[in-house]
């Protein structure tokens, strides 16, 4: 199966060469790093120091590993840490928030020759993969060269689990090369066991997202005397629903403000246009002036501020949940004591606990969204009760980062 995977990967690479050659001249794509170029020079200062290499795919995973990075540096201060990301956006986020890391890089293409060369330059003591980044050549190459491997903050969504079951034999062989799995929940552990992972190589350590500390509260002048809904990490198709709901809410709450934070910043112009077409006064956060007190909708077009902007909200909506994406992190607003809403497609760790304690509200359709937000805006005591429960949920489940690092040390991984 690995041979078939590599044949398909090589064919895809050849077919994509014209696009790759075009991208070579666009520096923002950093194609050289994806091809393994420059690794020898960049990693020369780490030669012989056996770094810990942590890979995180998405922006959300980058934020979650910050407490893990701090715990690693506390217990193994002598070891440098390399952070890799799958996307350029993720890499920018990593540079912003992971201040204790030593080297940052994009993950190269999962091609055998490239990864053998890159692994030979990095020479990590261990490769830590967050959630479950199944890059067969990266995992196989690291194991072949004698490096340790572990999955941290591991989870398997229902959709991911179903996909992996279709190629269970191949997945089992790749996962069999991983030395240890630190998983978010008992359900995740059961799914990994069904894919063939040995029970003695697994432990439930909880979600690192519960350990993420509060960021700086960005005080927004235009929010001083206004109630606000902050909709974070929204995906295509959700903004239209949210804007329509906002239009209904404005009939009863005339000074209400909506902050829209699209998951991908390249969608900012599209979201801005949607708000304008609906007849609202709209402004990007980066272009706001002190005189913009009467703006109806603000589009958050800056990176790294969403968590703290949630702190200014009366109500928060977490995106990726009204469309079948799986939802994003509901703990980001909860940690600030803000009531959380999300749609029917929420699969993130912590969502069930927030719902159980009355800190979050799941809505199935637009009219329910309007009704729930209106109730929270009208009733400060209900908002306060939900927010307080959210804080308790987060605080009661902290400790995953420390538990993860202690287990990795105990099992000789780091």
CA distances from 47 to 52, 106, 128, 132, 133 (A): 13, 19, 19, 28, 26
Instruction: State how beta strands 340-342 and 360-362 pair.
Output: parallel
Taking the alpha carbons of 285, 287, 293, 295 in that order, is the dihedral positive or negative? negative
What letter does residue 367 receive in the DSSP assignment? Answer: H
Residues paired with residue 106 on neighbouring β-strands, in sequence order: 85
Long-range Cβ contacts of 289-294 (<8 Å, 24+ apart): 290/221, 292/222, 293/222
Q: Which of 33, 61, 131, 332 is catalytic?
A: 61
What letter does residue 290 receive in the DSSP assignment? Answer: T
61 as an active site residue: the answer is yes
Q: Pick from 101, 89, 228, 207: which is nearest to 154 by CA?
A: 207
| Other beta carbons less than 10 A from residue 142's beta carbon | 24
Q: What are the φ and ψ backbone dihedral angles of 256, each rounded to 5 degrees?
A: -65, 140
331 within 8 A of 353, measured Cβ to Cβ = no
Furthest-apart CA atoms within the chain: distance in Å: 66
**∠ at Cα 311 (308, 312), nearest 5°?**
110
Distance CA 325, CA 351 (A): 15
Distance CA 35, CA 33 (A): 5
Active centre residues (catalytic): 61
């Amino acid at each position: 199966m690995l041979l078939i995977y590599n044949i398909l990967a090589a064919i895809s690479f050849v077919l994509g060469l014209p696009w790759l050659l075009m991208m070579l001249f666009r520096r923002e794509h950093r194609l050289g790093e994806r091809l393994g170029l420059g690794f020898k020079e960049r990693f020369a200062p780490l030669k012989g120091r056996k770094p810990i290499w942590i890979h995180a795919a998405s922006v959300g995973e980058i934020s979650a590993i910050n407490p893990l990075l701090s715990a690693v540096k506390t217990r193994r201060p002598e070891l440098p840490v390399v952070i890799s990301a799958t996307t350029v956006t993720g890499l920018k986020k990593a540079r912003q928030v992971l201040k204790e890391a030593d080297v940052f890089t994009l993950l190269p293409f999962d091609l055998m020759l490239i990864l053998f060369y890159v692994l030979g330059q990095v020479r990590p003591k261990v490769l830590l993969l967050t959630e479950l980044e199944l890059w067969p050549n990266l995992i196989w190459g690291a194991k072949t060269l004698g490096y340790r491997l572990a999955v941290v903050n591991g989870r398997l969504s229902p959709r991911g689990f179903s996909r992996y079951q279709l190629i269970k034999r191949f997945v089992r062989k790749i996962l069999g090369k991983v030395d240890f799995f630190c998983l978010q929940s008992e359900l995740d552990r059961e799914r990994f066991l069904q894919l063939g992972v040995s029970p003695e190589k697994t432990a439930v350590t909880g979600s690192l997202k519960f350990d993420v500390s509060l960021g700086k509260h960005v005080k927004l002048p235009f929010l001083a005397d206004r109630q606000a809904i902050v909709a974070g990490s929204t995906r295509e198709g959700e903004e239209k629903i949210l804007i329509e709901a906002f239009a209904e809410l404005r009939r009863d709450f005339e000074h209400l403000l909506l902050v829209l934070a699209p998951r991908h910043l390249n969608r900012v112009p599209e979201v801005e246009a949607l708000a304008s077409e609906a007849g609202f006064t709209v402004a990007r956060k980066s272009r706001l002036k002190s005189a913009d007190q009467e703006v109806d909708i603000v589009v958050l077009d800056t990176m790294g501020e969403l968590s703290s902007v949630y702190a200014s909200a009366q109500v928060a909506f977490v995106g990726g949940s009204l469309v079948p994406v799986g939802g994003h992190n509901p703990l980001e607003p909860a940690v600030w004591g803000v009531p959380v809403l999300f749609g029917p497609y929420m699969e993130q760790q912590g969502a069930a606990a927030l719902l159980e304690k009355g800190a979050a509200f799941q809505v199935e359709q637009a009219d329910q969204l309007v009704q729930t937000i209106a109730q929270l805006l009208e009733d400060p005591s209900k908002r306060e009760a939900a927010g307080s429960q959210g804080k308790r949920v987060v605080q009661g489940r902290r400790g995953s980062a420390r538990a993860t690092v202690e287990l990795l040390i105990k099992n000789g991984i780091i």
